[in-house]
Chains A and B, each alone.
Chain A
């Protein structure tokens, strides 16, 4: 896994598409308050990292977070590169082929773990990111 890409500005917004409901939902409901919040699992990495899209690159194509939605079940959540780095994680570009993801594929990036944080530390980091993230696109 590669390290952090310093060319990505700290105030760049990272968008992540997650499921709002259904079997792959990454939202969790508080059974006392009724609040719906983002699960820490929303930032769980696979072998490559955690998939996100860079606002700075989307903007070059006159696109925004709404263009990331694939299905009515999707919501798009947002966090900044600074917030990620504050948790000792990193961001690196991972553009995807046009055939797979269209123009938005150029904006694809990964949250990565350059400090090789252990399992508990990663879990903590994901929790902080989930609490700090905002929902920017909701189902219509």
Chain B
């Protein structure tokens, strides 16, 4: 497994992991103390992953899964550009088997989840830690909802203040 550590806005160096207690490789990889990150660094990691998701082999889930479609990737990239900010939480990307892609931010149980379908249609859902819905928005990729995206930005700004364990994707 290759890990890309996000860039630091302050020193360019990274602190040692705050904990090495976990035996879990993936968890150890991101157990770095909170540190500032530039928007460009967050976007760079996310876009690199998006690019790799487009290159997945058909059947990547051992069944019939397809690589992320160019339209879904374009829509996801546009939303990342709109929503990612300096010091914001880290967007976590995952492919859907139908060629769509999911972007999720999760901090303190509060989540903002962007589901991009293979055809580029977008569903954004924000949930409180209790599971109660804060808001949800749907739009086609070619007609984004500016009011809804502003809600997302405000939520992400609030979430950024709670980040304690910066993910090193």
Q: Taking beta carbons and an 8 Å cutoff, which residues of A are in contact with B?
A: 17, 20-34, 36-37, 39-41, 44-48, 51, 70, 73, 119-120, 123, 127, 131, 138-139
Residue from the list B49, B53, B123 in contact with A119, Cβ < 8 A: B123
Q: Report the minimum CB–CB distance from B76 to chain A (whole Å).
A: 13
A8 to B71, CA, bound (A): 38
Asked whether, in the complex, the Cβ of A31 is within 8 Å of the Cβ of B107, the reply is: yes
Asked whether, in the complex, the Cβ of B24 is within 8 Å of the Cβ of A39, the reply is: no
Asked whether, in the complex, the Cβ of B94 is within 8 Å of the Cβ of A120, the reply is: no
Q: Report the minimum CB–CB distance from B85 to chain A (whole Å).
A: 14
What are 20 sample pairs from A and B whose C-beta atoms fall under 8 A apart? A17-B62, A21-B26, A24-B56, A28-B104, A30-B109, A32-B107, A32-B162, A32-B163, A32-B164, A34-B164, A37-B106, A39-B102, A45-B97, A47-B98, A51-B61, A120-B123, A120-B136, A120-B138, A127-B127, A127-B131
Tell me what chain A mostly uses at the interface: helix, strand, loop, or mixed: loop
Q: Report the minimum CB–CB distance from A51 to chain B (whole Å).
A: 5
Residue from the list B52, B98, B123 in contact with A23, Cβ < 8 A: B52
A127 to B131, CA, bound (A): 9
Residue from the list B26, B66, B138, B165 in contact with A32, Cβ < 8 A: B165
Asked whether, in the complex, the Cβ of B25 is within 8 Å of the Cβ of A123, the reply is: no
Asked whether, in the complex, the Cβ of B1 is within 8 Å of the Cβ of A22, the reply is: yes
* Residues of chain B contacted by A47 (CB below 8 angstroms): 64, 98
A67 to B57, CA, bound (A): 23
Asked whether, in the complex, the Cβ of A36 is within 8 Å of the Cβ of B94, the reply is: no
* Residues of chain A contacted by B89 (CB below 8 angstroms): 31
* Residues of chain A contacted by B77 (CB below 8 angstroms): none
* Residues of chain B contacted by A21 (CB below 8 angstroms): 1, 25-26
* Residues of chain A contacted by B100 (CB below 8 angstroms): 44
A43 to B62, CA, bound (A): 15
Q: Do A23 and B108 form a contact, CB below 8 Å, given A31-B163, A120-B138, A139-B25?
A: no
Instruction: Tell me the residues in window 125-161 of chain B with beta carbons closer than 8 Å to chain A beta carbons.
Output: 125, 127, 131, 136, 138
Residue from the list A39, A45, A73, A127 in contact with B94, Cβ < 8 A: A39
Asked whether, in the complex, the Cβ of A31 is within 8 Å of the Cβ of B165, the reply is: yes
* Residues of chain B contacted by A31 (CB below 8 angstroms): 89-90, 106-107, 162-167
